[in-house]
Structure 1
């Protein structure tokens, strides 16, 4: 407390307790007042778990802190509430109150007023910035003293693999002039871990740093084998990362409604990436032209944002493969997709999304080995990226490499049930190959891409093989509504898409059978 005025500390305490940014229960507000006043009165040595439990929390005189961990748990919550308060409200009269870990005695420090959010923008930022606070320990961690620290580190490492994010740990946030100026996070990740018997539990909160609103929360559990403690820790950390950062995860879900309401000219490059993922769910043709224009504008305005290049590359590859561009433009569209994919990798060589884009451009350009290598590289860089996991699974399914395809596809949906249904076409092909037509029909019906023929094609083939002629005819009509002449060119199209020859024959024969079911009676007899 050297150099600090007691009156200034009490004014800071009052500022905290009166602020809406201090999100703490009435009990923890009393807790904070008690430990501050005891310290100012020179009685810091009396601030023990027993005194807090009996004088603040109303526990009986027989309270045993070894049995009841209420004080430790509430101290963790109070510590997080203070950290978030200073993140939101900044320092007052250059005084900062904190509770060091491992102690209940508050610390009073000379604060350093951070610049306002608009004073020092983070140079080159496109995606959101995320601050990961150290996770609190609840329960007895004495058997695993570094477990929670390692868990926090693994969450940070996992998030950094999504290269569109700016990820900061608490040490970075507290260092002088982090990232060359104000940290200015968009989101804060906090939480706690609990080791109890043979179970490990982690609770995680994602908070909007500007409003203080908790926008997502998750509870994760895992069996705990002392011989494989690091494996359990890393698997739960990966689950947390996927829930937060993967496409259609918590960050996307919070941002998407805001982006939908923005005027086109006010979109940032990251907003355009969000819109791309909205399109990517169903490959909605109506979004293609506008999204293409937005992404072209985004890379002009933010020429170092790799994700925008990757999204535009994937979009142009779609223009080629789904016929969203005129016939005379298709070749140039694919060539540009390859150039953009390479540029994305140059800008962000550690980004799985960049390698995803490059792999798709190679695939539709007919360079299958390079496509598979690019997708494998992307998955190696970010094993939590379920989009690239599923994409690689579909490519292996096209090649009839079922040993590689099926675990990737099933694993991707297990890790991310919210990802696009279009990848299920790979599972439909797997079942068709093995004659499991009911399972193939079930998977094909899950494909939600109304403007793309391939889900309907798989559905028509499976229904025809099952003798469900009405269903087969309905699927063929839907297919013809998208591409009236597709049945005439199906074999060439599927071959160009690098499908295994047996798959090409299986699908084309099934489509012919389904087309017979959809033809008028006279045509059916003539055929």
Structure 2
């Protein structure tokens, strides 16, 4: 081995452009310009995002080294999905399609270059990959199986050129990536109201860092449609299950129980923005309405309002009441403040301490830019409340009081902000102001009757207030609005059944919560309580043991703070098991 040469294990991505010679022959200048744009705007940013290192480029090909098979495959899929978006508006003869091969194996390092069997196999996989698809080796599949929410088809073993052994190949295709339907679960019934799901708008900016912006636009449109009481609008949580996947719209409509689907894309470039949207009738796949909006970025709120108003009209409803609701909407005075809030909102979808801390900082920056921006105050309140319920701060009671003040400020600044009333109501639950909490959450629903999370939060408040039957009614509606609901919904349902002393139903509900979130210790403790009440002591002990293994610091004296029942007797009943 020469000086400067070493061997190591690496994941290799090899990619090339399908029909590159044909493209060059038809339009050499345009093809070279398109290639440069794809590299700088999509390929290189995605590769950098996943920690890749470009080790070779030659004309239409690229060779990249990654530290792990997962990173290599995720990067490859992100590039292919990005190319689908970039090709969407081009005529077929000008579309640039990639073939990608991914292998993991030993490579020889020689300065910045790599050689060897690992590279050769990746190149052969790329050569036999489908246009727009990915071919991975069997050892890569073993590394990524169960870690990525994507489907690969088994193509068996192949003899490949200049490789002295068969290579087991698995294929990825963008046409086969819809989420699997739950065969044990009936599709939600169609509503008597016009029903719609808004799929995540595609980020066409060529910058993965702008993903939060396209997601934020989608969520804003969902929120504005949800205000219209004559519609049934599927919750963001369920719509975003399909993010980044090639889907069969009729299957998605059936899964969610809706008649209409909205899909679109967002392209942000400098001070300009392009939003495209199309409304589809699911049963026929017919396009009811489609529009493209090219505007200055400062007009983004007007674009959202136009899209929503045109959807309302296209779905056959008078827009007078809708326009009244829109007139109440308070947009921020600073576009930068809005952008900060979009970034913060993207971070609070899961209770991760670091992400919540970052979200709070971004929301506070938004407040500095626009002190009267109610949504920013509400997001700060949300992060403070979750910190309290998660017992992160040293002064939990002080944190709860700070959350309440932030929520109160949000409501005072915008008394039509449903999210502000939602957070305020939750603060009041943990302050043991149960009647005020229920009133705040009911008002939030008056402002946005399609908001599934608000209904689930109201159900939680009703359980703690001693009204479990009413809680179950709200949860039934919430689960219809959000078919892919988070585990907290069955958890709330289980607690309602526990208060009703219907322990068999409580066991089923808590079991569902644990299945959805096996690492949630409090769900396991509640399941243990239901099992104990049913005399299943051994199974209950196993759940307690699992909960303590997940969270060794859990203590019984934390229960009154986490579960603020109005009646001490209900708390004693729960602790007694």
Q: TM-score band (shorter)? A: 0.3 to 0.5
Q: Pick the structure with greater CA Rg.
A: 1
Q: Which has the higher strand share?
A: 2
Calculate the TM-score normalised by the size of structure 1: 0.47
Calculate the TM-score normalised by the size of structure 2: 0.43
